[in-house]
């Protein structure tokens, strides 16, 4: 990257979401100007004003800028090799943990764990195993619950004048 230098900046105006290229107005070292925001392949964001940026001046030209957006907020702590994507306002996140576990947190503190080590998913305490069996948060196996329900009968022997027996519910 010869003839390039970088500096810190903040966004000052949100860009028009209808444009094909995310050019955003920025402020740095007492100056202002436009910079094209760059994102890793497959990612995109419309960053709000006051977002911290790292800016590169291509070929040393102050008018030819690209910027990478970051966050000045406290970073989410992750272990070496782990990755987390999050929304700064809602705090929702997708956390790719070592060992293949994926933790999804919504903005209202609900959690979904995918691949908990045995191929299962846990959604707010309810487990779905790799074979599709569902165990409720209270520990009830829904397949067993259904089998018990299907097998139960109503052995009712009415006396004279009683209603007709209900028989089996199946």
Question: pLDDT category, 157, cuts 50, 70, 90?
Answer: low
Please give the structure tokens belonging to residue 43.
């990612």
Kindly state whether residues 63 and 111 are assigned to the same domain: no
3-state secondary structure of 151: helix
pLDDT given at position 170: 46
Asked if the structure places residue 75 within a domain, the reply is: no
Kindly state whether residues 52 and 106 are assigned to the same domain: no
For residue 98, the 8-state DSSP code is G
Question: pLDDT category, 162, cuts 50, 70, 90?
Answer: low
Asked if the structure places residue 13 within a domain, the reply is: yes
d(CA 77, CA 141): 35
3-state secondary structure of 147: helix
Asked if the structure places residue 17 within a domain, the reply is: yes
Inter-CA distances, 136 with 120, 140, 149, 155, Å:
13, 5, 16, 29
Kindly state whether residues 102 and 44 are assigned to the same domain: no
- Report pLDDT digits (tens) over 77-102: 889 999 888 887 788 889 888 888 88
Inter-CA distances, 59 with 65, 76, 97, Å:
9, 34, 39
Asked if the structure places residue 47 within a domain, the reply is: yes
Kindly state whether residues 55 and 95 are assigned to the same domain: no
Longest dimension (CA), the chain: 102
For residue 149, the 8-state DSSP code is H
Residue closest to 113 by CA, chosen among 121, 83, 99:
121
- Report pLDDT digits (tens) over 3-62: 555 677 777 766 665 556 677 788 888 888 888 888 887 787 777 888 888 888 888 777
Range of the domain at 146: 83-151
Asked if the structure places residue 165 within a domain, the reply is: no
């Amino acid at each position: 990257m010869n003839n390039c230098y970088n500096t810190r900046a903040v966004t000052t105006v949100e860009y028009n979401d209808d444009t094909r290229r995310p050019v955003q107005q920025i402020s740095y070292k007492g100056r202002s100007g436009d910079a094209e925001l760059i994102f890793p392949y497959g990612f995109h964001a419309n960053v709000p004003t006051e977002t911290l940026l790292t800016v590169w001046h291509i070929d040393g030209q102050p008018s030819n800028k690209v910027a990478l957006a970051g966050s000045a907020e406290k970073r989410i702590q992750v272990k070496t090799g782990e990755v987390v994507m999050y929304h700064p306002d809602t705090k929702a996140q997708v956390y790719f943990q070592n060992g293949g576990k994926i933790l999804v947190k919504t903005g209202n503190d609900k959690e979904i764990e995918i691949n908990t080590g045995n191929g299962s998913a846990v959604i707010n305490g309810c487990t779905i195993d790799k074979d599709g069996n569902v165990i409720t948060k209270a520990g009830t196996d829904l397949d067993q619950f259904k089998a018990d329900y299907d097998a139960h009968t109503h052995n009712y022997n009415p006396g004279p004048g009683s209603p007709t027996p209900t028989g089996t519910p199946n």
